[in-house]
């Protein structure tokens, strides 16, 4: 049976009762099959699994969709129960930030937090790393699972854990996709039929990039052919998000809007050699 707690005090008691090795999966709720894959991986690598459900206001800017972000705790709890999650921590904003957000001590993301998503959404990674750090301290995990769809977030969390000597294993879980190839996201529900059709240029661009010795050019051509998509960025970086190599393994990262819904995706590519990819 999955135990649900809302306060830090109750979390501490429930966490103390968990046996063996513990893995945590931080989420903002509105759970889907991509999260389910994270839970399954957590079950494989640990004896006990903790899921956190918290829509973190620190990572939303004033013009973003904090208020309309889907909140579906009952359905989220049902999925956690079905996947054998041991403990769910679903705090309120006041529980996480009892003294408010003005003057709050935060985790600075460093220069890597100012590129890509960080350039498009200033302060985003400070918000992400601050809440993840708090959740790690509260849940005291041996390991944590993050989806590769948010690849820059994954890289930033890995860097934080390494730089701050947190001693937590960070496991990457491959991006889960819907049958039409679109990466699963809680924001997909906001897409109209026409917007979703336009959004499918993103997985097409990934496939084209994986099949090309020049993945960036291939992705750019595919995205440019879809007028219903407003591309924020399409880049190829090193697998650690450094500068792309002249040849060899790299990472393609895409951010674009279909209507008002902002979508991100990424995939492994190889520069200078044609490979067959599966849009993952």
Distance (Å, whole) CA 49 – CA 144:
9
Binding residues for (R)-pantoate: 59, 153
Report whether 58 contacts 94 (CB < 8 A): no
273 belongs to the catalytic site? no
Distance (Å, whole) CA 111 – CA 123:
11
- Which residue is it, tokens 């008691």? 13
Q: Identify the active-site residue in 6, 35, 137, 273.
A: 35
Beta bridge partners of 255: 233, 264
The three-class DSSP label of residue 216 is helix
Distance (Å, whole) CA 102 – CA 162:
28
The three-class DSSP label of residue 253 is strand
Q: Which two tokens stand for residue 92?
A: 């309120």
Binding residues: 28-35, 59, 147-150, 153, 184-187
Beta bridge partners of 110: none
b/e map 186-199, b = 16+ CB within 10 Å: bbbebbeeebbebb
Binding residues for ATP: 28-35, 147-150, 184-187
DSSP structure class, residue 243: S
**Sheet harboring 169-173: ordered strands across?**
3-5, 87-89, 48-53, 22-27, 143-147, 169-173
Q: Which active-site residues does the annotation give?
A: 35
């Amino acid at each position: 049976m999955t135990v649900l707690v809302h306060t830090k005090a109750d979390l501490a008691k429930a966490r103390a009762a968990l046996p063996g090795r513990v893995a945590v999966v931080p989420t903002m709720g509105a759970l889907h099959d991509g999260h389910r894959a994270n839970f399954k991986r957590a079950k494989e690598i640990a004896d006990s699994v903790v899921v956190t459900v918290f829509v973190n206001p620190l990572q939303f800017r004033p013009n973003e969709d904090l208020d309309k972000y889907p909140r579906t705790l009952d359905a989220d709890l049902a999925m956690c129960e079905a996947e054998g999650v041991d403990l769910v921590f679903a705090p309120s904003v006041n529980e996480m930030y009892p003294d408010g957000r003005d003057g709050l001590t935060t985790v600075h993301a460093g220069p890597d937090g100012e590129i890509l998503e960080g350039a498009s959404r200033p302060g985003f990674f400070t918000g992400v790393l601050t809440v993840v750090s708090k959740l790690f301290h509260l849940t005291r995990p041996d390991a944590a699972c993050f989806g590769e769809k948010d690849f820059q977030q994954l890289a930033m969390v890995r860097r934080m854990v390494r730089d701050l000597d947190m001693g937590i294993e960070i496991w990457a879980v491959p991006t889960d996709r819907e049958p039409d190839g679109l990466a699963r996201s809680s924001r997909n529900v906001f897409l109209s039929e026409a917007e979703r059709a336009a959004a499918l240029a993103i997985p097409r661009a990934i496939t084209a990039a994986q099949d090309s010795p020049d993945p960036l050019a291939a992705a750019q051509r595919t995205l440019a052919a879809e007028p219903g998509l407003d591309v924020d960025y399409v880049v190829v970086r090193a697998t650690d998000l450094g500068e792309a190599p002249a040849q060899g393994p790299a990472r393609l990262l895409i951010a674009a809007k279909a209507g008002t819904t902002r979508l991100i995706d990424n995939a492994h590519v190889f520069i200078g050699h044609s490979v067959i990819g599966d849009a993952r």
